[in-house]
């Protein structure tokens, strides 16, 4: 059996197996495959300021490291979690000295979304003037988390979640690599164990390799049960303030609208099991009950309001079934967006004609003067008329006469 170096005992497997060249970089062929802009920019040492956006373990830091190894520029790295304005000043001072010597500087800022607006604003002029070339990495949608001015000076490149095939290839490579991986140590891993590692990794190479290393530290014979013990539950990707939050609530809403109760129940579970506030979900369901069910089922709104009150009274996890009941009820209900469309037209008309006067016959003559100038004149008191046709009158402003906002049935 090959001995394991002291270095390899200290450095975690995900870091040891980090690709060192573009040729070793797997799973992002659309981004850095042959002939792509970024691949050519790296080869020619002409990488512009960029933002790398992708889920955990998709290769953002690795790609930045590869760029660092293949560039002639000075390469400096900061983590937005542990650094701020002071550390940025140190980087800028070093970059200005390098610039005076004819060298450019690349600043890698990991988790750039962690910097607040003032910190990002402090970085902006140095990117704008070319003091540093920025490589920012983020798991969050840059549209939400990166200042617009800074974003406009950088190109955004999206890294996709790694496919199961790519994760399996990474795992199996680690098992046979005797230099950086687990090769030569007599470790045997069943196909079931590999499949479980891939499944639970959810596209995160770092998690897959970390799981493999944890299992190898317990036994040289790794079976499926070993992996199940290490990973008690899947890694749920969900951020209550980030893009995935909006993606999943959107999926829930669209599943309800499409009357797919199973899908709606699944997306509800994804939110609740990841720690979402049940009252947030309940509020969105209340909105849906009026927006998408509306007049097609007048019981939908009180059903969902009851679920909301249940969440207030007993909280999680007891209220989960009340929300599940509301979700399935909404999915199975007939749908009508007549109220949503109608009220939208009302808002449009109000924007166009914000101050159209109330017709004089509808005005209340609460004083003698008002009555003298004609307030209420000609108003027909509906209960006085046996024939509804005789009570017909205009209730909208003059310029909106005949406007129809709400359509029922086949109208």
Tally Cβ neighbours within 10 Å of residue 170: 25
User: Where do the structural domains in the chain lie, given as residue ranges?
Assistant: 28-158, 164-230, 243-332, 338-400
CATH code for the domain defined by 28-158: 3.40.50.300
Residue of 103, 31, 95 whose CA lies nearest to 63: 31
Between the alpha carbon of residue 56 and those of residues 171, 217, 253, 274, 366, the distances in Å are 17, 24, 26, 16, 67
Confidence (pLDDT) at 70: 85
CATH code for the domain defined by 164-230: 1.10.8.60
- This prediction's pTM: 0.61
243-332 has which fold? Zinc Finger, Delta Prime; domain 3 (1.20.272)
In the predicted model, residues of the chain with pLDDT beneath 50 are: 1-7, 410-411
**CA distance linking residue 89 with residue 356, whole number of Å:** 58
Q: Which residue has the tokens 């001072």?
A: 93
DSSP 309-332: HHHHHH-TTTTHHHHHHHHHHHHH
Confidence (pLDDT) at 229: 83
> pLDDT by residue (tens digit) across 131-185?
999 999 998 889 888 999 999 999 999 998 899 999 999 999 999 999 999 998 8
Confidence (pLDDT) at 41: 92
Q: Please, are residues 192 and 224 in contact by the beta-carbon 8 Å criterion?
A: yes
């Amino acid at each position: 059996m090959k001995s394991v170096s002291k270095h390899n005992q200290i450095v975690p497997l995900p870091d040891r197996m980090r690709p060192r060249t573009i040729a070793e970089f797997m799973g992002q062929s659309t981004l850095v495959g042959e002939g792509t802009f970024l691949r050519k920019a790296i080869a020619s040492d002409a990488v512009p300021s960029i933002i790398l956006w992708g889920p955990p373990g998709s290769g953002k830091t690795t790609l930045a490291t590869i760029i660092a190894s293949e560039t002639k520029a000075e390469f400096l790295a900061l983590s937005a979690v542990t650094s701020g304005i002071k550390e940025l000043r140190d980087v800028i001072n070093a970059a200005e000295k390098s610039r005076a010597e004819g060298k450019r500087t690349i600043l890698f800022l990991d988790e750039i979304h962690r910097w607040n607006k003032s910190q990002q604003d402090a970085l902006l002029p140095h990117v704008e003037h070319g003091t540093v070339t920025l490589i920012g990495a983020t798991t969050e949608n840059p549209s939400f988390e990166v200042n617009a001015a800074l974003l406009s000076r950088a190109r955004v490149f999206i890294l996709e979640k790694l496919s199961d095939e790519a994760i399996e290839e990474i795992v199996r490579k680690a098992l046979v690599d005797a230099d950086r991986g687990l090769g030569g140590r007599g470790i045997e891993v069943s196909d079931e164990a590999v499949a479980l590692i891939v499944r639970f990794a959810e596209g995160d190479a770092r998690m897959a390799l970390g799981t493999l290393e944890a299992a190898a530290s317990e036994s040289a014979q790794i079976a499926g049960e070993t992996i199940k013990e290490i990973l008690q539950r899947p890694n749920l990707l969900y951020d209550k303030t980030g893009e995935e939050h909006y993606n999943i609530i959107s999926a829930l809403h669209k599943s309800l609208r499409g009357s797919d109760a199973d899908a709606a129940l699944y997306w509800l579970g994804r939110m609740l099991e990841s720690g979402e506030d049940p009252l947030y979900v309940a509020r969105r369901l209340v909105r849906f009950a009026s927006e998408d069910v509306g007049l097609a089922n007048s019981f939908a709104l009180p059903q969902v309001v009851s679920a909301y009150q249940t969440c207030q009274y007993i909280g999680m996890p007891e209220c989960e079934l009340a929300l599940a009941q509301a979700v399935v009820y909404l999915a199975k209900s007939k749908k009508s967006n007549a109220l949503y469309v109608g009220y939208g037209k009302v808002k449009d008309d109000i924007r166009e004609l914000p101050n159209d006067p109330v017709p004089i016959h509808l005005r209340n003559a609460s004083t003698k003067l008002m009555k003298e100038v004609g307030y209420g004149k000609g108003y027909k008191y509906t209960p006085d008329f046996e024939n509804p046709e005789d009570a017909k009158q205009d209730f909208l402003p003059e310029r909106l006469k005949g406007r129809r906002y709400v359509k029922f049935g086949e109208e």
